[in-house]
Amino acid sequence: MPVLLAGVLVTVFVMGVLAFAPLIAGVSLLLRLTSQRIARGKPTPAERLLGRSLSTGALVSWLVIPLLVIGLWATAVALTGGSGGSQPTIRPGGVVGVWKSSGGAMVTFTSDSQFTETNLPYPPVDDAAYAGRTVTVPRSDAGIWQFHGRPFAGFQEVDLNFFRAPPFAST
């Protein structure tokens, strides 16, 4: 819990800096550029906040750098499809290869839509996909794989169609 609280506090602080630094720097820069002849010795809001004098270049940096960080973050969010809650679109080249689990299961996908699998675990007893059915999943078998679902609807899966279809029996 303390780590979570520290993470939240750091995040709030960083977001606050990113939100207010450009605002304070922009106001300070405008005041410096527009009232240069009137009040040379009067500190800008940024200088009062930091307690030291700042050059015009420092004020420009204080304005530009947070805006660049915000822009890069927004670009990354847009390119990844949002907040990270959606699944990436699966492409055939991203499926082909050998996939292994820490439990010893292994599935090999080939580019001609064939697969072989060994040591697949049995589905968990509380798995909602198998509710109301007794399912026998072959622990070692082969078959054909294909995509299922629509990537823009928020889901896409790889279906495994076994050469020897596993028996499904209702209970």
Contact between 99 and 107 (Cβ < 8 Å) = yes
More confident residue, 69 or 80: 69
Instruction: Give pLDDT, residue 52.
Output: 87
Q: State the pLDDT confidence band at 169, using cuts at 50, 70 and 90.
A: very low
- φ/ψ of 46, rounded to 5, equals -65, -40
Last residue of a domain, one of 79, 100, 127: 79
Who's near 155: CB < 8 A, 6+ residues apart?
Answer: 87, 149
Burial 42-61 (b: 16+ CB within 10 A, else e): ebbebbeeeeeebeeebbee
Say whether both 74 and 97 belong to one domain.
Answer: no
- Dist. CA 86–CA 150, nearest whole Å: 12
**DSSP conformational letter for 166:** P
With 60 as the cut, is the pLDDT of residue 22 above it? Answer: yes
Distance CA 166, CA 143 (A): 11
3-class SS at 158?
strand
Of 52-56, 136-140, 153-157, the poorest mean pLDDT is in: 153-157
pLDDT for the residue numbered 131: 62
Tokens 């050059």 belong to: 55
Rounded mean pLDDT of the chain? 76
Residue 85 counted as domain residue: no
CA angle 116, 118, 131 (to 5 degrees): 95
**How many domains are contained in the chain?**
2
Q: What angle do CA 142, 147, 148 make, to 5 degrees?
A: 115
Do 40 and 104 lie in a common domain? Answer: no
Read off the pLDDT of residues 77-135 as tens digits, 9 standing for 90 and up: 778 765 555 555 666 667 888 988 888 889 898 888 888 888 877 666 566 666 666 55
23, 45: one domain: yes
- Higher per-residue confidence, 143 vs 158: 143
Q: Residue 43 sits in which domain range?
A: 2-79
Q: Among all chains, which residue has been given the structure tokens 């007794």?
A: 134
Using the 3D structure, point to which of 79, 102, 126 is the last residue of a domain: 79
Q: What is the mean pLDDT of residues 29-41?
A: 71
Report yes or no: 34 and 68 within 8 Å, Cβ to Cβ. no
Which residues share a beta bridge with 108? 98, 116
Poorest-pLDDT segment among 2-6, 46-50, 55-59, 72-76: 2-6
Q: What percentage of the chain has pLDDT greater than the value 70?
A: 68
How confident is the model at residue 170, as a pLDDT? 45
Q: Are residues 113 and 158 in the same domain?
A: yes
- For residue 129, the model assigns a pLDDT of 62
Residue 165 has pLDDT above 60, yes or no: no
Q: Based on the domain organization, do 114 and 153 belong to the same domain?
A: yes
* Residue 104 identity: G
Q: Does residue 166 share a domain with residue 97?
A: yes
Residues 29 and 71 in one domain: yes
The verdict on 166 and 109 lying in the same domain is yes
